[in-house]
Chain A
Amino acid sequence: MRLRLSFDRPSRRDLVVFGGYCVASAIYIAIGVSVFDFLLSFWVAAAYLLVAAWLIPTLARRVG
Chain B
Amino acid sequence: MSWAAHDLEPYAIQKHTKLKLAFVPLLIGSYAPDMMTKWFVYGIHLGPWELKASNPAQFHRGWPGFGFTHSLIYGLAIALIFWKVFDSKLWAVSFLVGQAAHAITDTGDTVGTMLLFPWTYHFHFGAWAYAGQTGRATDAAAYFSGLGSMWDLLFVVYGLWSWRVLTSAYFDNFIYRADAFWPWLNRWVPRAALIVLYRAAFFYGTSRWIAWTIWAHVIHHYPYDLSWGGPHWVHAAHP
Which residues of A are interface residues toward B (Cβ below 8 A)? 7-8, 10, 14, 18, 21, 24-25, 28-29, 32-33, 36, 39-40, 42, 45-46, 49-50, 53-54, 58
Q: Residues of A contacting B185 with CB < 8 Å? A: none
Residues of A within 8 A of B199 (CB): 21, 49, 53
List A contacts of B46 (CB < 8 A). none
Whole-angstrom distance between the Cβ of B124 and the nearest chain A Cβ: 26
Contact with B214, one of A7, A24, A29 (Cβ below 8 angstroms): A29
**CB within 8 Å for A28 and B196 given contacts A7-B161, A33-B219, A42-B7:** no
Asked whether, in the complex, the Cβ of A54 is within 8 Å of the Cβ of B214, the reply is: no
Contacting pair A14 B167 (CB below 8 A): yes
Q: Roughly how many angstroms separate A1 CA and B60 CA in the complex, as a whole number?
A: 45
Residues of chain B within 8 A (CB-CB) of A24 are 203
The chain A residue sitting closest to B215, CB to CB, is: A33
Chain A: which residue is nearest B195 at the CB level? A54
Main secondary structure of the interface of A (DSSP, over half): helix
- The smallest C-beta distance from B169 to any residue of chain A, in angstroms, reads 10
* The 4 nearest A-B residue pairs measured at CB: A45-B204, A32-B211, A46-B200, A29-B211
Candidates A10, A18, A21, A45; contact of B208 at CB < 8 Å? A45
Q: Nearest Cβ distance between residue A44 and chain B, in whole angstroms? A: 9
Interfacial residues, chain B to chain A (CB-CB below 8 A): 7, 31, 136-137, 161, 163-164, 167, 192-193, 196-197, 199-201, 203-204, 206-208, 210-212, 214-215, 219
Smallest CB gap from B192: residue in A:
A54
- Alpha-carbon separation in the docked complex, A32 to B31 (Å): 21
Q: Return B139 CB to nearest CB of chain A, in Å.
A: 12
In angstroms, Cα B210 to Cα A11, docked, is: 26
B178 shortest CB reach to chain A, Å:
20
Minimum CB–CB distance from B199 to chain A (whole Å) comes to 7
Q: How far is the CB of B157 from chain A (nearest CB, A)?
A: 12
B175 to chain A, nearest CB (A): 16
Q: Are A28 and B211 in contact (CB under 8 A)?
A: yes
A42 contacts across to B, CB distance below 8 A: 7, 31, 200-201, 204
Question: A residues within 8 A CB of B201?
Answer: 42
* A46 → chain B closest CB, angstroms: 4
Chain A residues positioned under 8 Å from B136 (CB to CB): 40
Measured between alpha carbons, how far is A29 from B214 in the docked complex, in Å? Answer: 9
A21 close to B203 (CB less than 8 A): yes
